[in-house]
Amino acid sequence: MFWKKNRQQLVYNKILKDIESADFMFENLENIDLDSKLSTNEKVFKEIFQYCSDVVFRPIEIQNETKILLIYIDGLIDSKTLDQIALKPMLFHGLPGALSKVQSMEQIIEQHLVAMAQVQKDSKIVDVVNGILKGYVIILVDGVNKALVAELKGYEKRSVEEPSAEASVRGPRDGFTETLRVNTSLIRRRIRSVKLKMEPMTVGRVTLTDIVIAYVEGIVPNSVIEEVRKRIQRIQIDGVMESSYIEEFIEDVTWSPFPQIQNTERPDVVCSSLLEGKVAILVDNTPFVLIAPMTFWSGLQAADDYYERSIYSTFIRIIRYALFNIALLFPSLYVAIVTFHPQLIPTALLMSIAAAREGVPFPTVIETILMEFMFEGLREAGIRLPKTIGSAVSIVGALVIGQAAVQDGIVSATVVIVVSTTGIASFAIPRYNLGTAYRFLRFPMLILAGTLGLYGIIVGVFSILIHLLKLRSFGIPYLSPVAPLILKNLKDVFVRAPRWNMTYRPELISGANKKRALEGQQPSPKHEGRDK
């Protein structure tokens, strides 16, 4: 026994020396257990958290017999609650006399003195340190080689608010926040089923960021869950600041302009995606949740489509599809026709365009690219500026610059109309990242149109279509259910069928449970009782 204690003391002396060295790696402590002596544990943790002024070491002595040490980070725990439910019972009530003879010290403190909801035991130094960094209260007792890890988080957090980037006319007004547990509760409130699973993971060697993989068991394919787990587990990075860090590591094709993973701030969008057979990835410290797999058509669907009547949603969706085609092709078609194919323009309109272009020193393709560049610059300036002046600067800047450019003959009025119409059409795309892809592709399309005319546009469109046909998101074709064609799943692509008619989940996305509603629920004005 003496040899064992002496050997353990030598191990701890080596640990203290290693911590002081510059090349010390925290992973070296992975298999080291806590010591039974409180003073030794205190030295180790004080060396680990050296120069960390926010880490509090609070020693307590109960009835001059039992020494206890509390370790926590100031600002990550609720100090008032800690005083009430942990410190006050220990300092004023002491140890129950009858219990101390029949129970171990950690059992007495855990079951009778510390009235916390979640308390677990850890014996490894690494686990205890991770608990401190995650905002837990660590309770060390002299003579015990285990630590009580109690959850008492109390840091400042933003309240639940309406998402600013995905506002809707009708529907829920709550949105995700930067707190992971709040976000999981918003999902759990909507899907009250034991089949809703939330698997915890940790990514980031330095930040130790908490991640949750959410899915509905039986609805999501097992192959998709397994692939999501594998891609996240192989991420080796120092820190994760936002869910986009995870997105770039797990997407299928890095250099594609089209997003393969959807992101959203709306809990209702996440829940509806889970019920279709998709997987949600929640990351701590960000309100944006990732949804995989993603299809091209889901990027063009808005939350309002499912809260309005189907006939109105279908009408709006058709208009939206027309607008995103305008956002991509309108400037290119104008450049190609005016430059190479003026015979396609009616004579009256051609004369008007020619009169507007009189005195303009640049070719049509150059002036269009210049105006597109200025429009994108004004849009970015409006985003980066404070909200109170951002919208005013972008609107006034567009009016002043556009009017001055036309008056001075630098650009024609027709180009200003074309670029403005294109910009307005791009705002109709519900997903910002998909709209950004169209903004990016507009410039190569303009160059093709300015050099090859309509043939260049055809080459560009076919190149985009071929790329979309080859693209996959976690093994799911990006253009499904259009390519490959699945007729029964087209009820929620170009149109939005009534809910009683959408009885099946997407064929390629969902797992074994593909039926989401019973058939024969079409409403009828007839009443069965009266008919009899």
Last residue of a domain, one of 130, 151, 172: 151
Answer yes or no: do 365 and 463 share one domain: yes
Confidence (pLDDT) at 75 = 83
Residues 110, 89 contacting (CB under 8 angstroms): no
What is the rounded CA–CA span in Å between residue 415 and residue 171?
A: 39
Number of domains in the chain: 3
Split the chain (532 residues) into runs of 10 and give each run's mean pLDDT: 51 59 56 84 88 89 78 84 69 52 52 58 87 88 85 77 84 90 93 93 90 94 93 93 94 93 94 95 95 93 90 92 92 93 88 83 88 83 70 65 74 86 87 89 94 94 95 93 89 90 88 85 68 47
Same domain for 29 and 146, yes or no, is yes
Q: What is the DSSP string of 267-332?
A: HHHHHHHHHHT-EEEEETT-SPEEEES--TTGGG--GGGGTS-HHHHHHHHHHHHHHHHHHHHHHH
Same domain, 398 and 266: no
The reply to whether 202 and 268 lie within a common domain is: yes
The reply to whether 252 and 333 lie within a common domain is: no
| Same-domain check for residues 191 and 328 | no
CB 40 within 8 A of CB 69: no
Let me know if residue 304 belongs to a domain.
no
pLDDT at 62: 73
Please indicate, yes or no, whether residues 62 and 121 belong to a single structural domain of this protein. yes
Question: How far apart (Å, rounded) are the C-alpha atoms in residues 60 and 87?
Answer: 8
Q: Is 174 contained in some domain?
A: no
Can you name the residues that pair with 120 across neighbouring β-strands?
A: 149
Regarding whether 136 and 188 lie in a shared domain, the answer is no
Residue 433 counted as domain residue = yes
Q: Is 199 within a domain?
A: yes
pLDDT value at residue 101: 44
- Whether 403 maps to a domain, the answer reads yes
Residue 388 lies in a domain: yes
Asked if residue 102 and residue 10 are part of one domain, the reply reads yes
Q: Tell whether 127 and 7 lie within a shared domain.
A: yes
With tokens 């925290």, the residue in question is 26
Q: Is residue 503 part of a domain?
A: no
User: What's the pLDDT score for residue 61?
Assistant: 80
Q: Which domain holds residue 184?
A: 180-294
The answer for 485, left when phi > 0, alpha when psi is -120 to 50, beta otherwise, is beta
Those residues with Cβ within 8 angstroms of residue 370's Cβ, 6 or more apart along the chain or in another chain: 362, 411
307, amino acid identity: Y
